[in-house]
Every structure is written in C-alpha cells, then in structure tokens.
Amino acid sequence: MGGPRTAPRYLLRLADISLRERRKADFEMLSTHHERDVLCPQPFAFGVVDSAKVCYSLLSYLPGENAEEALPRLSETQQFAIGFVAGQELLKLHKVRHPDKDFDWPRRRTTKYLRGIEGAKELGLAFAGQEEVEDYVDANLDLLGKAPVHFQHDDYHAANLIVYKGKFVGVVDFNRFDCGDPIEDFCNLPWFSRPVSTHFARGQVQDYLSRGVPTDFWRRYALYVAMSLHASLMWAHRYYPKQLGMFRRRIKEILDTHDFRSSGPPTWYEEQTDRKHPLPT
C-alpha cells in the first residue's frame, strides 16, 4: 500500500467586479501558457459573484517561495541553474504573438516614455547622466519599428518566480501582462533580479541568448532599460516615497554598469563570461 495522499492545494484570487474583464483576460492568457507547457499555475475556474461584487480565479497552488527570498541562501551554481530555467520559461512565454497586426507598438512605447519624462519633470525629479540616457533613447527609437510584437509578462523578475527545494517550479503574477517587444521583459533584471543574484541574472540571459535570439538583443535591452529610468523614479516618488532613495541608488548602479554608448552587455554580464557553471539537467 502507498503512503497517505497529500490533498491538492489551490489558490483563490479575488478582485473587484469592476476588474472582471481584465481578470478574465488574465485567466485566459494563463490558460494559454499552461496548455503550452509553461511552468505556471494551472487555471481551473473563473467566475463572478454579483452579490459580493467580486470576480474570482481558482488556480493550482505552487509550493515554495519566491526566488527573491530563496536565491541568497543557495549556491552560485543553483542560482545560475534557476536563472537558466527562468530564461527557458521566458522564451516559451514570448512565443505567443499579438493577434492584432495593426497594433502600433512604436507609438505606444514612445508615448509611455514621453509620459515618464514629463511626469518626472513635473515632480522635479532628475538624475546624473540623464542627458546621456535621453540621447541614447533618441538615437535608438528606430528599433521600436523593427521589433516583433509578442506577449510580455511585464513583471518578470525574481519576486514573481517560485523556487522549491532549490529548483525553479513556476512563474506567477500574470496580472500585468501586455504585448510589445518581448526583449522589454528583460529590463526588470537590473532593477530587481540582478541585485538579488548576478548568477541568476546571467543564467536567465545566457539561456535565452542560446536559443537563436536576434543579434541586436543588447541594443534593444539597453533601449528599454534606458526608457524605464524616468518612469521608475516617478513611480517610486508617487507610490513608494520612502523607497525613493533606493531607486536613485539603483539608477546610479544601472548607469555605472550599462553601456549607453555602444550598446554592449552590462558589466555584470561580461564579468562572468569566463566563469563556467554546470548546466541544469
């Protein structure tokens, strides 16, 4: 006879009924990814409770903890291996194309960038090296018109990846998903993942680049990182003012480690190119 069976565990997510269309879209997109064998929660049911004015999603529960908490306790090799799998799963997510061929990605992303600049200016926010960053963006905006338009997780970083017993088990928090150039999903690396684990960040990039990604990856990556700076500073000022100092320090780290002249890899990636980690099996 086998041992006792473990009861299945589920995650019930609730949202205000006014968000039902968006939450339904989240649920359907998660279903698409789960059917394509992405490591993510399995969606079971979506519904609305009119009397309570809420909508709900019932998902499978992924055991473990987020990678932001788990990675610092793991070996460098484990951190790299988890990043390696994160790169595999991100590429799976990016295989989903935007169905609307007339979707104007260049206009949408440029508008968002200019809104960030104006918002930061109105709040009196600036940072050292700002002119260089803005010049870089202006010189590389042509990339937006050449970029493919695919699914974006739009919040892909260590805090939204689950690790269990030292291994990557899934991607969570699809609530911000969007569409655009898939390479933009990497701009969270220097903000939130690399500060937790350089080995994880390098593993994620290395796996993704090993699978036939266009040669202009680093140029596109640098463009989206540059385009994120003003808006991130504005966002921190408005919603997390106590963390504004941390965001300013993070911007300085990004400017110190990124190449906004010739679009080369950031120094945290180049510094480890000679280090070998065994690949995950």
CA gap 126, 248 in Å, rounded: 9
pTM > 0.95:
no
Q: CA-based angle 86:87:92, to the nearest 5?
A: 95
The string of pLDDT tens digits covering residues 174-216 is: 999 999 999 999 999 999 999 999 999 999 999 999 987 778 9
Contacts of 133 (CB under 8 A, 6+ apart): 226, 229, 255, 260
Four-way CATH pick for 65-270: 3.90.1200.10, 3.40.220.10, 3.40.50.720, 3.40.50.1820: 3.90.1200.10
- Mean pLDDT of the region 159-166: 98
The string of pLDDT tens digits covering residues 72-110 is: 999 999 999 999 999 999 999 999 998 877 899 999 999
- Measure CA 217 to chain center: 16
- Domain chopping of the chain, boundaries: 10-60, 65-270
> Can you give the length of the chain in residues?
281
DSSP H helical ranges for 99-197: 105-122, 130-140, 142-146
Q: Can you give the C-alpha Rg of the chain in angstroms?
A: 20
Q: Read off the pLDDT band of 276 (50, 70, 90).
A: low
In the chain, the largest separation of any two C-alpha atoms, in whole Å, equals 70
